[in-house]
Structure 1
Amino acid sequence: MNYKFLHDRVQQAAYSLIPQQERSRVHYQIGQLLIQQISPAAIEEQIFSVVNQLNYGIALIEDQTERSDLAQLNLTACRKARAATAYQAAREYAAIGLNLLGESAWQRQYEMTLNLHEIAAEVASLCGEFDQMDRWIDTVIHHTRTPLERVSVYIVKIQALSSQNKFLEAIAIGLLSLKELGVELPDRPTSEDIQQAVQEINSSIGDRPIEDLFDLPAMVNPQKLATMQVAASMVSACYLIGSSLFALVTALQVNLSIQYGNSRSSAYSYSCYGIFLNSFLQDVTVADRFGRLAYRLASGADAKNIRSETFSVIGLCLYHRKSHLRDTVPIIQAGYQAGLETGNLEFVGYGGQAFCINAYWCGQPLAELEPQIRAYRQQLLDLNQLTTANYCSVFWEATLFLLGNPNNLEISFEEEGYEEKLVSQSFASNDFYRLCIFYLYRATLRFLLGDIAGAAADVDRARQYIAGSVGTTSEAGLYFYDSLIALATPEFEAELETQWQRVEENQRKLQHWAQHAPMNYLHKWQLVEAEKYRVARQRAEAIEMYDRAISGAKENEYIQEEALANELAAKFYLDWGKEKVAQAYMQEAY
């Protein structure tokens, strides 16, 4: 029979009648009664009710066996709270559990002590308490007996360092852990190292279609599973600093998957290998097949824990190479939500900034986009994902600027000393991605304002850090705006040969993107062609290309680039003295 108080006030009044010194004992007795009444199979379902009562009476428990039993219950509560993304509660349960184990815990209760330290380190990281996280991790490293037992805390450390922009340190920890697991990678892989890894993959696949890798058996070798996890945790840091280790670490995971079976990390590995195939081998078709394989694996009902990182990569770097950029947005949002639900905050961050990039470039109305980017940025700040929140700030401020900054908010682009500070921070962490997007987006804004000299200086700097944006639509955006800026520069003809070579090289790359995804990139290539013909005074050809670019941008709903093409066509006609025609194009632009 169940009883309950008629009203909360009645319960509070009854509770106030219990003497203060007796309350701990009463709570503890309630907890004991709950344990007696609940079957062992059902205890986890009501774990919080049980543990919260028992924890009041910790001071009353002197027997170490009983304290250890309560520590185990706190571990169960911690895991359940962590799974529910209640990180502060999980942190408290872990701390109580460790306190209950007392001294000599590693000797008496090795496995439970290790499990509590692992989850304590993880939830400390998720709460942004990195100093406490380091203390738990150092304790694990000091007491563990095998490299496999250190893998979990190494991964927590790698992810925490990445979230703080400490990419070189994150990679160093990853290389150390891999070495302990028997895999030694060079700090700076050569092209021969990478080619050899690719050849091994091709040999392992043989004549099988890539799609057949979906049906590989599950990986069961503990050493290989641990290697996959460590390698996967360091991939994003390698990518963001433009390290050649990205290719080697990704290839390592793909090889292990083919040879030993698919692990939980394989979907992410296949998607990252797609980036490598696209950007380094220029094989868009095979990259797309690996991306679709990754999507299938990460879409399974039991694949929620890997969905966030896999969908972020597919949305940011793969899908737009064959499909419309706007179709990546739902994929990215699904990955973002999966990350929130599983506590994968690192890739919540990457998913958030992926949304900002693709939504910015795919032609969404800016007035609708600005509050969305602002909301993603704020949530990442709230989650202590400062690296990716900083990336979102670039896109948000660019959007504000284009809207005319109606609320007169501070925009970093315009602040004196901001650029110097950003460069210093980025070089300290080798964050070339942040440098690339900062200079690229400021270059586009300066170009649109007619500050061609400032735009040219910025786009030159962005080109230096392009390795940090490989595979994203920003890479194509750089080729596009670099050419438009060069062709608009008054000194173009004075440096005709050098500048022309640069534009031709950009066009060669942009045309490759356009061949596979004309809906995203053909109108960009056509607009640059129109500007080339304008400079060469080939008016008939220029007219045709302007109109093609306008038509393509309109058909595929790139409204900002449609407006830009109309504006550049209007200037072309004005320079020719065709004011009425120019006026018609200018009206279309606005």
Structure 2
Amino acid sequence: MGTYRWEWKIAEIISKTSLSDNVVDLVANKIQKLPLRSQYILKMAGLGTKFDLKTLAWVCQMENRDNEAELEQILHQAVDSMLLEKCRLEYNTEGYRFGHERIQQVAYNLIQDDIERNHIHLAIGRHLRYLAKSGAYSELRNADPTNSCSLSSSTTPVPPPPPWLIIAAADQLNAVNPSLFQDRREVIDLVTLNLVAADRVMQRSAFFPARNYLLKGLSLLPPSPHMRWKQHYSLALSLSVKLAGIECSLGRFVDCERLVQEIKLHALKPQDKLAALFAQIEAYGSQGRIDDAIEVCRGILHQWGEPLFQAKKFTKTHVTTELGKTKWLLKGKDDAYLLHLPRMTNPSVNVIHKVYCKLSHLAHWAHHY
């Protein structure tokens, strides 16, 4: 008759329970019973959510072939113990991740010294940022691993870095106490990195992570709005405009309005205000403030030279008249003719067209249409 024994599937226990403290203790004890070498590797791995073999080898200073083989063996043992699991990173790269975020937290907490933790985050972040410099994002190219990412004027096409690399670099550097950065330029580089990371996660409609990256970027700029916009106009504009759009999408209309007003106050050119104004239109529409949304549209059209909305009171007669003009212009023209018309390149016309698209939606809800 065979021998039976209990087998604890840690990752499965954690994923199917609320993770009480005793389960966390169980995981911690399991890790602490591993050989010191394995503990060290899991401790370093705990600094990130996902990782590949090459990056972890660099972090653990195990970059030669023999050490990498040892590292891979330890990782396989961690997979067998349900502490780690294999995963596919972007661009089909093989990587690893912890079986549960609380397992990662236990491994992370093995680094008990905050100063040591900050310096490790800083080293990893700089290394990942350096690896990402070859990406298509010009603001991340020509970066030195210990210094700032300078703008590149190179026109040589290069493949973009995997999205996880940008995000991982931002996560690592965001965990660092800003006082550890070498100079102000490196802090501003991190602002740019957060902006790019926000764009990356927004490609997957991850609004909350994108919001966090943008807020982190703004927090690294001067706290005074006046100084922020004066010293770092382009970054302040990009961060604020993107954040206003996200706040609107998340239903945080008060925060959206605050950002829109700040942008309207500090933006130097009408085109710099457009994205914020469109976010304001969406926010007003979502709140049922149709008249306010239409007023914003009127203001844009007036500023961009569209005469239609010059009348103080816009009525159904105006709409009927303009529809008649449109029908007359389209008379005798079939779909094939319209499809072969040249693309609109006049910026003013494009803006006006976009506003009318917004108005066509608002018109269904406005009582005076």
What is the TM-score normalised by the length of structure 1?
0.39
Contact 1:48 1:77 in 2 (8 A): yes
Pick the aligned partner of 2:221 from 86, 91, 101.
101
Check 1:18–1:139 CA distance in 2 against 1; reply closer, same or farther (3 A cut).
Answer: same
Q: Distance in 2 between matches of 1:10 and 1:145?
A: 46
- TM-score, with length taken from structure 2: 0.60
Could you tell me how far 1:123 is from its partner in structure 2? 0.9
Judged with a 3 Å threshold, the aligned counterparts in structure 2 of structure 1 residues 238 and 62 are, in CA distance, closer, same or farther, namely farther
Residue 170 (structure 1) shift: 1.2
Match of 2:329 in 1: 204
> Contact conserved, 1:30 with 1:53, CA < 8 A, in 2?
yes
Cα shift readout 1:363-394 (whole Å, capped 9, x = no counterpart): xxxxxxxxxxxxxxxxxxxxxxxxxxxxxxxx
Alignment match, 1:233? 358
1:17 to 73, 94, 111: 111
Maintained 8 Å contact 1:121/1:132: yes
SS at 1:40 equivalent = coil
1:243: Cα distance to partner? 3.2
Instruction: Return the alpha-carbon distance in structure 1 between the equivalents of residues 108 and 281 of structure 2.
Output: 50
Distance in 2 of aligned mates of 1:195 and 1:126: 33
More helix by share: 1
1:213 CA drift (Å): 1.5
1:130 aligns with 2:253: yes
Following superposition of structure 1 onto structure 2, how do residues 184-263 of structure 1 map, counting pairs within 5 Å?
184=307, 185=309, 186-189=311-314, 193-244=318-369
Q: In terms of mean alpha carbon deviation, does 220-229 or 36-45 score higher?
A: 36-45
* CA root-mean-square deviation: 2.5
Distance 2:119 2:233 in 1: 30
* In the alignment, structure 1 residue 50 sits paired with structure 2 residue 169: yes
Q: Determine which of 242, 247, 255 is the counterpart of 1:119.
A: 242
1:545-560 paired onto structure 2 within 5 Å: none
Using a 3 Å threshold, how does the CA distance of structure 1 residues 113 and 10 change in structure 2: closer, same or farther? closer
* Distance in 2 separating the partners of 1:157 and 1:10: 40
- Deviation, 1:78, is 1.1
Residue 157 of structure 1 and its aligned partner are, at CA, apart by 0.8
User: Secondary structure in 2 aligned to 1:74?
Assistant: helix
Cα drift, residue 146 of structure 1: 2.0
1:16 partner SS:
coil
Per-residue CA shift, 1:466-504, capped at 9, x if unaligned?
xxxxxxxxxxxxxxxxxxxxxxxxxxxxxxxxxxxxxxx
Whole-Å separation in 2 of the counterparts to 1:187 and 1:58: 54
* 2:123 corresponds to 1:29: yes
State which of 266, 279, 289 in structure 2 corresponds to 1:156.
Answer: 279
Asked if structure 2 preserves the Cα contact closer than 8 Å seen for 1:148 and 1:181, the reply is: no
Shift of 1:80: 1.9
Aligned to 1:262: none
Q: Distance in 2 between matches of 1:44 and 1:216?
A: 38
Q: How does 1:534-545 map to 2 (within 5 A)?
A: none
Q: Is the 8 A contact 1:158 1:234 kept in 2?
A: no
Structure 2 residue identity aligned to 1:36 = Y
Partner of 1:294: none
The letter of the residue matching 2:361 is: S
Task: Verify the 8 A CA contact 1:148 1:223 in the aligned structure 2.
Answer: no
Preserved contact between residue 44 and residue 76 of structure 1 (Cα < 8 Å): no
Residues 190 and 36 (structure 1), Cα distance of their counterparts in 2 relative to 1, 3 Å cut: closer
Correspondences of 1:327-342 after superposition (within 5 Å): none
Q: Relative to 1, partners in 2 of residues 1:165 and 1:62: Cα closer, same or farther, differing over 3 Å? A: farther
Q: Aligned-pair distance for 1:22?
A: 2.3
1:139 aligned to which of 259, 262, 287: 262
Q: Distance in 2 between matches of 1:110 and 1:135?
A: 18
Instruction: Give the fraction of aligned pairs with identical amino acids, expressed as a percent.
Output: 23
Q: Deviations over 1:270-328 (max 9, x none)?
A: xxxxxxxxxxxxxxxxxxxxxxxxxxxxxxxxxxxxxxxxxxxxxxxxxxxxxxxxxxx
Q: Which residue of 2 aligns with 1:403?
A: none
Structure 2 equivalent of residue 92 of structure 1: 212
Q: Which residue of 2 aligns with 1:73?
A: 193
User: Which deviates the most, 13-22 or 86-95?
Assistant: 13-22
